[in-house]
């Protein structure tokens, strides 16, 4: 019985693992190819805390720097994201899709189903870590790069155990609540917050030990690529995963499971309150779906709240006192570092001796566009392809609404939500600057936030277009994420290689921070380019959606 559920769970998810490993392998190959021509002596002069925060082992060569950059962020985040997705879907996903009853209708207990799902997740992440280890040696062999005494296997082991911690966190939340969105949101939020806390807190003398409270600390703070497996850290992460697994086991056996999770929207809650019922009914309109944008907005309200609060509070307001408490000598040292060092962080200057440079590295470089894309890609992928997958597109179009109107209202929600996260970023950084007395230009903060919003909307529109062309929600979501990752990598590598400078202009990210808007103000030409790309993608979506035969199931 266990093997049947295990096999199904593995077959449902193995493609994602293979795609992730192949993508990371190609990225590692490109990173090694670029870095092997660099004079890396400068990195030996970095302070230990800064080198640790950036994932660069002491005495780094091309292999070390490439592995440090790829494993410490892209690799760990990708494998962690896979584990979160698997964990959140294990129980809560089955409930949401209405298939948990089918599983339990067979002679299988809840315990068997849970254990089988957990074993499948562990197996998939373990295979992914082993394949990533092999891909590293393959890339080094192709480029004739000597890995020397580097402990790639130890780093891969740490990476896999780290990913499983967040996977089991998602599984535990899903088992207790039955809500896949909440499970993935909590686990992903803890993972991202932990990553940035461990990267920033060691730079502040009085807060260095606080980093040990975050699970990411036990992933690579011991520098396993140099020192090998730290069994104490592995024990903490493994013990935490086991505890979360046991917690989830208890949760699924104590809770009444749902036949199909439909959730309660914000409009539903307003309707249930006598004080707001009249307003909610007026906003929602008639039962013939006259307010499609409200339905779409309600479906993604959780993502909006989490992303906005994270950018406003954590990556905006809270960074100001952290910057003020950082060691001035360490900050001044960053002035002399080559800008290329920060290319993969998305930052233009990397000079953290100024508030603008610090916020560019820590907030605007990667976090702001990612936070916006989390919302816009989710809406864009589900807007059309998601309705087809759930077999609800026919219900929408059976009402007196055109395909164009359906797409327009869903697109309007995506634009509005992206703008809200962008504004939250602007408000958080602006308030942080005022509170911390950093003296940053409010206009320049607004310009950078606007560009971040436009970049996030562009890739949300990519998801919308892919959904309109294919009708597949998976193609739309994964295609947009892959496009964002690929273009970001292209922009980063173009900065590292003179021969690729012109090619970098093909990336939307080139028109985001390359003009250093946080210091220099709004580059209107760059903003216009991003706007034109966004409009072109929306128009292409309208044309494709109006011409394609829709699916009964996506």
Tell me the pLDDT tens digit for each residue of 438-483.
889 999 999 999 999 999 999 999 999 998 888 888 888 888 888 8
- Split at pLDDT 50, 70, 90, the class of 1 is very low
Sign of the alpha-carbon dihedral angle for 460, 464, 470, 473? positive
Name the residue ranges covered by the structural domains of the chain: 1-256, 265-299, 306-554
Q: Where are the alpha helices (DSSP H) in 62-151?
A: 62-69, 76-88, 94-96, 100-105, 110-143
Structure tokens at 8: 């199904």
CB 421 within 8 A of CB 307: yes
Question: Cα(346)–Cα(35) distance, rounded to whole angstroms?
Answer: 17
Non-local CB neighbours of 33 within 8 Å, separated by 6+ positions: 143
DSSP string, 206-228: GGGGGGGGSTTHHHHTT-HHHH-
pLDDT tens column, 127-159: 999 998 888 888 888 877 777 677 888 889 999
In angstroms, what CA-CA distances link 72 with 143, 195, 529?
A: 21, 10, 32
Q: Show Cβ contacts of residue 392 under 8 Å, excluding neighbours closer than 6 positions.
A: none
d(CA 383, CA 486): 23
Q: What local confidence, expressed as pLDDT, does residue 193 receive?
A: 82
**Closest C-alpha to 372, from 430, 474, 475, 452:** 452
CA 150, 155, 157 angle in degrees (round to 5)? 135
- Whole-number mean pLDDT of the chain? 78
- pLDDT, residue 121, reads 92
Q: Is a pLDDT exceeding 70 seen at residue 34?
A: no
Is residue 537's pLDDT more than 90? yes
The pLDDT score that the predictor gives to residue 104 is: 63
* pLDDT digits 0-9 by tens, 478-505: 888 888 888 887 787 777 666 666 777 8
Phi, psi of 339 (to 5 degrees): -60, -30
């Amino acid at each position: 019985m266990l093997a049947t559920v295990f096999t199904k769970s593995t077959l449902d998810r193995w493609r994602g693992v293979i795609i992730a490993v192949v993508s990371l392998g190609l990225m590692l190959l490109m990173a090694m190819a670029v870095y092997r021509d660099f004079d890396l002596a400068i990195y030996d002069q970095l302070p230990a805390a800064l080198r640790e925060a950036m994932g660069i082992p002491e005495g780094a060569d091309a292999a070390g720097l490439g592995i440090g950059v790829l494993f410490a962020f892209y690799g760990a985040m990708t494998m962690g994201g896979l584990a979160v997705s698997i964990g959140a879907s294990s129980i809560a996903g089955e409930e949401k899709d209405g298939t948990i009853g089918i599983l339990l209708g067979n002679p299988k207990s809840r315990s068997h189903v849970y254990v089988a799902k957990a074993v499948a997740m562990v197996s998939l992440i373990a295979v992914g870590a082993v394949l990533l280890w092999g891909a590293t040696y393959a890339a080094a062999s192709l480029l004739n790069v000597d890995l020397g005494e580097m402990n790639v296997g130890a780093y891969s082991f740490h990476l896999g155990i780290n990913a499983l911690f967040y996977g089991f966190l998602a599984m535990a939340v899903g088992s207790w609540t039955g809500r896949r969105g909440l499970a993935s949101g909590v686990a992903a939020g803890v993972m991202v917050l932990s990553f940035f806390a461990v990267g920033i807190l060691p730079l502040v003398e009085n807060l260095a030990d606080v980093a040990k409270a975050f699970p990411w600390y036990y992933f690579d703070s011991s520098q396993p690529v140099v020192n090998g497996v730290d069994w104490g850290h592995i024990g903490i992460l493994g013990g935490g995963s086991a505890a979360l697994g046991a917690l989830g086991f208890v949760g699924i056996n104590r809770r009444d499971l749902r036949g199909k999770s439909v959730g309660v929207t914000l409009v539903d809650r307003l309707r249930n309150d006598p004080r707001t019922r009249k307003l909610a009914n007026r906003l929602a309109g008639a039962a013939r779906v006259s307010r499609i944008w409200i339905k779409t907005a309600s479906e993604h309200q959780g993502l909006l709240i989490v992303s906005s609060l994270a950018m406003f509070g954590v990556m905006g307001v809270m960074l100001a006192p952290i910057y003020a408490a950082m060691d001035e000598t360490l900050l001044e040292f960053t002035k002399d570092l080559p800008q290329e060092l920060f290319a993969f962080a998305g930052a233009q200057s990397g000079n953290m001796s100024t508030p603008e440079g610090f916020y560019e590295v820590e907030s605007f470089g990667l976090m702001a566009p990612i936070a916006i894309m989390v919302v816009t890609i989710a809406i864009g992928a589900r807007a059309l392809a998601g309705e087809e997958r759930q077999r609800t597109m026919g219900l929408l179009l059976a009402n007196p609404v055109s395909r164009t109107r359906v797409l327009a209202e869903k697109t309007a929600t995506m634009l509005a939500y992206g703008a809200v996260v962008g504004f939250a970023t602007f408000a958080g950084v602006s308030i942080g600057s005022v509170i911390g007395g950093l003296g940053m230009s409010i206009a320049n903060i607004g310009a950078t936030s606007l560009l971040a919003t436009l970049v996030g909307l562009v890739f949300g529109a990519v998801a919308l277009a892919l959904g309109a062309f294919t009708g597949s929600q998976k193609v739309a979501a994964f295609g947009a994420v892959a496009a964002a990752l690929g273009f970001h990598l292209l922009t980063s590598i173009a900065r590292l290689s003179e021969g690729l400078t012109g090619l970098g202009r093909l990336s939307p990210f080139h028109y985001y921070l390359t003009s250093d808007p946080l210091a220099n103000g709004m580059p209107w030409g760059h903003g216009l380019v991003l706007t034109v790309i966004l409009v072109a993608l929306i128009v292409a979506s309208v044309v494709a959606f109006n011409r394609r035969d829709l699916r009964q199931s996506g």
